Amino acid sequence: MARFLLSVVINAVAIWLTTFIVTGVHVTPYPPGDTLAVVLTYLLIAVLFAIVNTVVGTFIRIVAFPLYLLTLGLISFFVNGLLLLLVAWIMSPLDFGLRIDGFWWAVLGALVISILNGIFSLLLRPQLKERRRR
């Protein structure tokens, strides 16, 4: 459970940094200006992204396995972009959450989120291994 929570926090921070790096990815908290609302909005987006990635992403990766082999994994950029767009679409009826300006912004945003998650995982790997030993 602690690993999942740490993964969600890392993902939330990666999404937060992505909104600064990629201009087509926006997050609107509710109510605006409240720090707690901003943090909870990013955590909600991270949890929703983790659920969508786990459920829908796994299904897509299994079904599209021949395409992954054929394109040497390059299709994963598009799949991750579509999953990010799906999260934005799920949050669209709400007045807050993730907003993406288009498909290519979603692909770029998913790429940046993946890179940032990889960097944070590398930085936190020694602490995670040490916790497992206890």
Average pLDDT over residues 67-79: 92
Residue 91 confidence (pLDDT) = 93
Question: Which residue has tokens 């949050």?
Answer: 91
Map out the domains of the chain as residue ranges: 2-133
Residue 6 confidence (pLDDT) = 86
Within the chain, strands assigned E span: 25-28, 97-100
Residue 131 confidence (pLDDT) = 59
Judge whether residue 128 has pLDDT over 60. no
Residue 31 confidence (pLDDT) = 80
Out of 11-15, 86-90, 121-125, 126-130, which region has the weakest mean confidence (pLDDT)? 126-130
List the end-to-end C-alpha distance of the chain, in Å, as a whole number: 15
This prediction's pTM: 0.87
Region for residue 50 given its phi and psi (left: phi exceeds 0; alpha: psi -120 to 50; beta: otherwise): alpha
Distance CA 89, CA 119 (A): 27
Judge whether residue 103 has pLDDT over 70. yes
